């Protein structure tokens, strides 16, 4: 299995989130503002990519409608927690409290995906398809750098469950 298998790529980005939330603690001023903006955008790209490429198949092929509903609910909670950061003055106590809350909500969600959602997904979706999805995951990130073209709006569970995921590797 190559490094481009989709759950490996999702996991790699989870590790980046863990690192980048920690790295904020060492920053101040404009560097802190820029790092938070980049991290918040990346959280949104990650969430939408999962809603388009991971959760529909978890629901449709791994009997995971309930898990999908939970994942989408979590994504919306992460969206709200990240948006709440901007209600505070950069670097203030309230700002840090909001960032740490977003970090915790995201950390709990990532752990649940890794522990409870990846295994049934990998059982249900074969290697070749997961590799093709990995290529789509990378292409999606290229297309939506800095969350360009994404609304940041809440996702809808029924829509995610009903999403048709294209078959095959987009690059061949
Ligand atoms: Fe997620
Ligand atoms: Fe994730």
What end-to-end distance do the CA atoms of the chain give, in Å? Answer: 18
Q: How far is the CA of 32 from the centre of ligand 1 (A)?
A: 24
| Contact indicator for 68, 160 with CB cutoff of 8 Å | yes
Phi and psi at residue 120, in whole multiples of 5°?
Answer: -65, -35
Q: How far is the CA of 45 from the centre of ligand 2 (A)?
A: 10
Give the residue extent of every domain in the chain. Answer: 6-162
Write down the H helix ranges in 25-152.
Answer: 29-53, 55-61, 65-85, 93-112, 118-124, 127-143
Residue 117 has what pLDDT?
98
Residue 1 has what pLDDT?
63
* Nearest ligand for residue 11 CA: 2
* Nearest ligand for residue 7 CA: 2
* Nearest ligand for residue 47 CA: 1
Q: Cα(82)–Cα(11) distance, rounded to whole angstroms?
A: 20
Q: Cα(64)–Cα(128) distance, rounded to whole angstroms?
A: 20
pLDDT by residue for the chain (172 residues), tens only, comes to 677 999 999 999 999 999 999 999 999 999 999 999 999 999 999 999 999 999 999 999 999 999 999 999 999 999 999 999 999 999 999 999 999 999 999 999 999 999 999 999 999 999 999 999 999 999 999 999 999 999 999 999 999 999 999 887 787 7
Neighbours of ion ligand 1 (CB under 5 A): 50
């Amino acid at each position: 299995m190559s490094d481009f298998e989709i759950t490996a790529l999702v996991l790699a980005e989870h590790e980046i989130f863990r690192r980048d939330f920690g790295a904020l603690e060492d920053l101040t001023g404009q560097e802190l503002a820029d790092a938070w903006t980049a991290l918040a955008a990346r959280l949104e790209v990650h969430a939408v990519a999962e809603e388009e490429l991971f959760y529909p198949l978890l629901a449709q092929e791994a009997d995971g409608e309930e898990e999908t509903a939970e994942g989408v609910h979590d994504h919306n909670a992460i969206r709200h927690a990240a948006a709440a950061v901007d209600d505070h003055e950069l670097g203030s106590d309230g700002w840090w409290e909001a960032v740490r809350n977003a970090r915790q909500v995201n950390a709990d969600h990532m752990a649940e995906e890794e522990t409870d959602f990846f295994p049934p997904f990998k059982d249900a979706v074969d290697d070749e398809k997961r590799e093709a999805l990995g290529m789509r995951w990378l292409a999606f990130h290229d297309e939506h750098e800095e969350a360009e073209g994404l609304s940041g709006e809440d996702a809808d569970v029924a829509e995610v469950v009903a999403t048709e995921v294209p078959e095959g590797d987009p690059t061949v």
